[in-house]
A and B are shown apart, each in its own frame.
Chain A
Amino acid sequence: MRFKIHRYNPDVDKKPYMQDFVLEHVKPGMMLREALIELKNQDETLTFRHSCGEGVCGSDGMNINGLNGLACITPVETLTEPVEIRPFPGVPIIRDLVVDMSGFYKQYHSVKPFLIRYDPEPEVENLQSPEDRDKLDGLYECILCGCCSTACPSFWWNPDKFPGPAALLQSWRFLADSRDQAMDERLDKLDGPYKLFRCHTIMNCAYVCPKGLNPTKAIGHIKALMLKHSV
């Protein structure tokens, strides 16, 4: 199987280039992460992040034949050759397929991604009906891999101002939580031309999310809530 992989090491390379690799033995059911590990055995300078190997830790997001995805749950047999692998678009590159995610994390932090309650805590759990809990499904499962935000043109354009789909999905995760008591401050922070309304429903986020989540839909819910809240 043939691969073309983005290489750039600022220590030695003047500019990035694409390097050809060939993997002789493709095992049945092989995932791209395993293929990359084999290629790294050929050339240990090939650099990428990875860890759990089952789509839970969110380390190995990359651009695979033009689409963002997780290497560990992408079967190589589904990919057209030569498989072109690049780092996430629109974010600074550290080396090869490793990008600087600090801007992404900063935007995640900016939406206060934690439960805020003002009431004194009971001695036992806060009660929540199964129906209210169901509202968090499709939201809390986010693994912060960054596939969505780095596929979002609005995020490419204003990565320092626009929270991006991953952060907004988490914003809705807390707005939708019956236990949270900070709706006003959450909505206030999302108002303005570069925040919530910088999403133009391009929907790349939902298209690429490896966990099947839908940030665009969540953003739609926040927009509706904000409208209701402001009238």
Chain B
Amino acid sequence: MNIPIRRFDTLILGAGGGGLRAALQLAKADAHVAVVSKVFPTRSHTVAAQGGVNAALANVTPDNWHWHMYDTVKGGDYLGDQDAIEYMCRAAAHLVYELEHAGVPFSRLDSGRIYQRPFGGQSRDFGGAQATRTCAAADRTGHAILHTLYQQNIRARTNFFDEYFAVDFIHDDEGTVLGALTMDIATGELLVIEAKTILIATGGCGQLYRTTTNAHINTGDGMAMALRAGIPLQDMEFFQFHPTGVAGKGMLITEGARGEGGYLVNKDGERFMERYAPNVKDLASRDVVSRAISIEVREGRGCGPDGDHVMLKLNHLGSDIVAKRLPGIRDTCKTFMHLDPVDTPIPVFPTAHYAMGGIPTDRFGRVVRPSGNSPEEEIPGLYAAGECACVSVHGANRLGGNSLLDILVFGRAAANDILGFLKKNRYHRPPNQEYIDKAYERFARWEKTGDGESVQSVRADLKTAMEDHCGVFRTEKIMQEGVEAIKAIRARIPDVRLQDQSKVFNTARVEALELENLADIAMATMRSAEARQESRGAHSRIDYPDRDDAHWMKHSLYSLEDDTLDYKPVRTKPMSVETFPPKKRVY
């Protein structure tokens, strides 16, 4: 197989906020960068983020990064690495100002400063009164940020490979990643991109679940590529269910709706969050609110003929606030439910939303894995940032508004470290043909013709299995069945055949490659969840209802090769401040 080769200093996989923030940093420093994305950059899922980005600007209420750090550590149920959290929270204000300078149309306060709204899990003075920390462009903050970053990359003349799908990494026997095999979706032609450094910024894997806020493209491609290259995935059992997805459909209704004063009610009209989080009520952490909704429904207090959801009330806010601050979700409600939240409550239910876990990295964005005597040895030249990575700043549960911050902070951090790496490592390490052939095998497998199951039927079963066995509440039995179910589904994939063998814009082939990715990640998620015998953050077990710091304050690491789990300690020591020791988590 003779595949054309192109060479760059840096290959970035993914053109969401993380990839584009890194690309901008690199392009400005005159590094030669290729950004590969399976969709045109502004179609990346960052575009769907609504509520905002957290930074202690103190434009509305007193605030500082240290309080933000405390909230993030607590929100993550003490599984987050405190050095990385300190780094992120300290960098936040500067990065938001930079975005504003780059053109993001943030909403404004009367003072002319950036508008900020309260979000869940935010406090002043280490657990005191509600903070107001989330910087917003109405309820379209992700759109505003992604478009601005793309625009600045046009200005910086970044090389884009739009609608190219990354098939697999090209790596040597030691696991050093030398490039990637990619496919031009429009023509089906293959291209090898060699690079001295590679940044994985491929986003999340919400397509693991049947009902999800995530786009069709969120299939965890980079995570699965890493798994297959022998890199473990970290903390995959922690999957966030957003409390307010549109019931039965999954569209996201931003936490900003509650930040602006909305609240949840059950069928009796009771504001039930007062029972679960007496202090902050509807602005508790997402895991807490999602569990509360699930309990209300399970105990027969759900709304609707089937009692299968609760209501989000905004109709007391008045049309001005809804029109000004929440125009996007108002459109969504009108389009998909024919209701106007100005006068009618919105039916909502917890919906798969965000992977806290991912490719293990340090706070410089460097991919790390256990090796010999260190639990965290870097893989030279390989980086990851954003939802596909696990730094870990979100621990066991991410705070709303911290995901946009994560992509900005660690996109930039990775780019800065890459610049240092490029100075020291001036030459490519060309892969030999054998390594390229290995990546090609994965592509060629789908050229087998004949009768077989369809990609779609396997993908649908996978999503249902994950929803049934790895949801908001978990038990040993349900998860053991889940492991078997996922194993059985994976065993069907070799017999799947593509009926569409065309080279031209073959989306069926893309979906087949995505299915393999999802199946590998499902295994990582199910296995990690089954093993963790405690409740922490988003991982909530009926049979182990308490957090168990003595045995489980550690990160999971799942390896695909031998289907095994390993663990490493949480980095509890921050960069410069005192450790926040684990406490009982009350909101």
Q: Give the interface of A toward B (CB within 8 A).
A: 9-12, 29, 31, 40-41, 44-45, 47-59, 73, 94-96, 98, 100-101, 105, 109, 112-115, 117, 121, 123-130, 132-133, 136, 140-141, 143-144, 174, 177, 179
Contact = CB atoms under 8 A, between A and B. Distances in A.
B109 interface: yes
A50 B216 contact: yes
A117 B140 CA distance: 24
A141 B155 contact: no
Contacts of B144: 140
A177 B337 CA distance: 34
B143 A141 contact: yes
A132 B111 CA distance: 12
Contacts of A95: 502, 504-505
A10 to B, nearest CB: 6
Interface string B132-148: 00000100100110011
A10 B40 CA distance: 22
B259 interface: no
Chain B CB count within 10 A is highest, among A47, A101, A115, A179, for: A115
Contacts of A49: 39, 507
Given A11-B503, A44-B499, A52 B113 contact: no
B42 A113 contact: no
B92 interface: no
| Chain B interface bracket (under 10, 10 to 19, 20 to 34, 35 or more) | 35 or more
A140 B328 CA distance: 13
Contacts of B102: 114-115
A101 B454 contact: no
A45 B506 CA distance: 8
Contact of B100 (A48, A59, A112, A125): A125
A129 B215 CA distance: 35
Given A45-B508, A95-B505, A109-B154, A130 B108 contact: yes
A101 B162 CA distance: 11
Contact of A51 (B107, B113, B216, B455): B216
B103 A130 contact: no
Interface string B430-470: 00000000000000000000000011100000000000000
Given A56-B48, A114-B155, A125-B113, A45 B504 contact: no
Given A51-B39, A94-B505, A179-B103, A44 B454 contact: yes
A141 B215 contact: no
B335 interface: yes
B101 A57 contact: no
Nearest to B143: A56
A10 B43 CA distance: 26
B39 A140 contact: no
B155 to A, nearest CB: 5
Interface string B42-55: 11110110000000
A74 B105 CA distance: 28
A24 B123 CA distance: 53
Contact of A57 (B57, B215, B335, B336): B215
Contacts of B143: 56, 141, 143
A98 B103 CA distance: 31
Chain B CB count within 10 A is highest, among A12, A52, A112, A127, for: A52
B112 interface: yes
A56 B47 contact: yes
A57 B114 contact: no
Contacts of A132: 108
A52 B105 contact: no
A203 to B, nearest CB: 22
B42 A10 contact: no
A114 B152 contact: yes
Contacts of B505: 47, 94-96, 98
Given A101-B40, A125-B106, A129-B112, A117 B101 contact: yes
Contact of A44 (B57, B113, B455): B455
A140 B147 contact: yes
B331 interface: yes
Contacts of A143: 42, 47, 143
A98 to B, nearest CB: 5
A9 B45 CA distance: 29
Nearest to B110: A130
B180 interface: no
A129 B39 CA distance: 36
Contact of B498 (A44, A112, A128): A44
Given A54-B251, A58-B42, A123 B105 contact: no
Interface in B23-62: 39-40, 42-45, 47-48, 57
Contact of A73 (B110, B335, B498, B504): B335
B332 A125 contact: no
Given A73-B335, A133-B105, A57 B48 contact: yes
A47 B152 CA distance: 32
A124 B110 contact: no
A58 B102 CA distance: 23
